[in-house]
Chains A and B, each alone.
Chain A
Amino acid sequence: GDQVEQSPSALSLHEGTGSALRCNFTTTMRAVQWFQQNSRGSLINLFYLASGTKENGRLKSTFNSKESYSTLHIRDAQLEDSGTYFCAAPRSNAKLTFGKGTKLSVKS
């Protein structure tokens, strides 16, 4: 079965609000990487975490390897935050397992 499960699959936010995206792992993962795929299709690196919490502007991510999950918090959402957010985790054989993504729509 899927090793990386993302929720929700889709999310709609009004500008200025916030929410959390979640990534659950069915096996122990060493690290997690979060990406945004924007409207042009580019995959933008957001965070890489082996543990703990990282913050960058309006985004914050945590990784709990013991409980096998990671979250991405977005606050004060802006229109340009729209896109699909992927989490991914490296497997032992050097392959990155991707979740199916959360499609975020930010509306004015």
Chain B
Amino acid sequence: DMKVTQMPRYLIKRMGENVLLECGQDMSHETMYWYRQDPGLGLQLIYISYDVDSNSEGDIPKGYRVSRKKREHFSLILDSAKTNQTSVYFCASSPDWAYEQYFGPGTRLTVL
């Protein structure tokens, strides 16, 4: 069964703390994505990874960085989290950037 997993599912952090969100996929997909979803703004793309160590900024990369050292794992890092980074974060993967994307269940991050 094709699957994208995200850990943790819920996270509460204080402003200034570091945050690590993890994403995994078992489909050997080349391309992976990080999005955030906020009410009224829909889904916004943070970063794309085309393969291991081949990452590209999305529409809202400021305040985030990513790491992809293995094809099946893609991490989103917030160094010194801010309250406006409170959101639901989704990871997705696709066999190629031109094809169907598969989404993980999301991580609800609250920054106090």
Q: CB within 8 Å of B: which residues of A?
A: 30-31, 33, 35, 40-43, 45, 48, 86, 88, 90, 94-96, 98-101
Contacts and interface: CB of A to CB of B under 8 A. Distances in A.
Contacts of A45: 100-103
Contacts of B100: 33, 45, 48
Contact of B48 (A31, A33, A95, A100): A95
Contacts of B50: 94
Contacts of A41: 88, 105-106, 108
Contact of B31 (A40, A43, A48, A94): A94
B45 A96 contact: yes
A87 to B, nearest CB: 11
Given A35-B103, A95-B48, A101 B42 contact: yes
Given A86-B42, A94-B56, 14 more contacts: A31-B98, A35-B103, A40-B105, A41-B105, A42-B103, A43-B106, A45-B103, A90-B98, A94-B48, A95-B45, A95-B48, A98-B42, A98-B43, A101-B42
